[in-house]
Every structure is written in C-alpha cells, then in structure tokens.
Structure 1
Amino acid sequence: MIIFPILILLSFVLYIYYKVMITRAKDSLTQVYLNSKAKIFLGGFIFFWGINQYLFYQTKLSLIIGIVFLILGAYQAQTGWKATKHYRNEYRKQETSTT
C-alpha cells in the first residue's frame, strides 16, 4: 500500500509549510488562521500514520495504538477544521471592513 506513505508525507510537508508561513505572517489573525490550517494537516498525519502502522505490523498492539492515533488525528483535524472556518469568516470580515 503505497498510498498511505504518500498521504503521510504530503500531510507532513503541508504541516511544515503552514508552520513556516506562520513565522512570515505579520497579522495575528493570519497567524491563527494558518495555525488552524496546520492543525488539519497534523491531524491527517497522525490519522494516516495510525492506519499505516496497523497495516504494516498487523498485531493487536499495533491495532490498539492505531485506534488511539485515529482518534487523536480525527480530533485534531476536526478542531482545526472548525477553527479554520471560524477564522476564514473573521478574515473576510476584516478585509471588507478595511476596504
């Protein structure tokens, strides 16, 4: 299964990308928006890592650890998604008020 290592690598690279973009942003609203996007990709990384580890080892211990990673990854991605939607709306409000 080559798809899960590709998804793991892609989500990790995008997580690092958004974390670097936070340091370049001057506005605090932009920083928290980018941080929430980074949380989505961190959640994806943890989620796909859990699936990949179970498929690689296929033991009861890896199943338990994989389930924990799935839950943590899904929670992280969900909170990042909610925060992204919130800060996207705030960002749009800020753009319309300054224009």
Structure 2
Amino acid sequence: MIIFPILITLSLVFYVYYKVAILKSDDNLTQAYLNAKSRICLGSFILFFAINQYIFYQTRISLFVGIAFLILGVMQLSRGIKEAGHYKNEWKRLNNE
C-alpha cells in the first residue's frame, strides 16, 4: 500500500514546517498554537507509522510495537486537537473576531 508512506511523509514534513514556523514567530500565543499543530502532525506520523509497520510485517512483535505506537499517536493527536482548538479560541477572543 502506497498510501501510508505518503501520509507518513506528509505528516513528517508538516511537523518540521510547524516547528520551524515556531522559531519565526515572536508571539507566545502563536507559538503555542503552532506547537499544538505540530503535535497533531507528530501524532498522525506515529499513528500512520504504526499501521504501516503492522501491515508490512504482520508479526506478533510488530503487533505489540504497533499497538504501543498507536496509543502514543492517538494521545498526541487528541492532545494536539484540544490544544489547537483552545489556542484558536483564545486568538479569536483577543482579536475580537
């Protein structure tokens, strides 16, 4: 399946993009929002990597490692989504939009 390597690559590229964008920003709220977005990309990277490894190898050890990575990926993804929503609402509140 070619879809998972593409998704892995895209999520890794966006993770690096958001981390570099944090360095360019001076506003703390923008930095926190970009960090939340990068956390979403990191979670999706770990999640897609876990699925890809199990599909590729299909062994018991890859299942256990995949489950551990799956749990970590979902935790990062859900925390990133909650943080991004919070910081987006804070930005709207501060800018009166």
**TM-score, reference length from structure 1:** 0.96
Q: What are the ranges of 5 or more consecutive residues in structure 1 without an aligned counterpart? A: none
SS in 2 for 1:96: coil
- Please give the per-residue CA displacement for 1:50-93, whole angstroms capped at 9, x wherever unaligned: 00111111100000000111110011000000000000000111
Distance in 2, Cα, partners of 1:3 & 1:95: 39
SS in 1 for 2:96: helix
Aligned residue in 2 for 1:91: 91
Aligned residue in 1 for 2:75: 75
Distance in 2, Cα, partners of 1:20 & 1:86: 21
Structure 1 residue ranges, 4+ long, deviating more than 3 angstroms after superposition: none
Aligned residue in 2 for 1:37: 37
Kindly provide the amino acid, as one letter, of the partner of residue 52 in structure 1: N
**1:96 Cα deviation from its structure 2 partner:** 1.4
Q: What are the ranges of 5 or more consecutive residues in structure 2 without an aligned counterpart? A: none
SS in 2 for 1:49: helix
Matched residues, percent identical? 57
Aligned residue in 2 for 1:52: 52
**TM-score, reference length from structure 2:** 0.97
**1:12 Cα deviation from its structure 2 partner:** 0.3
C-alpha RMSD of the superposition: 0.9
Kindly provide the amino acid, as one letter, of the partner of residue 23 in structure 2: T
Length, aligned pairs only: 97
Distance in 2, Cα, partners of 1:86 & 1:11: 22
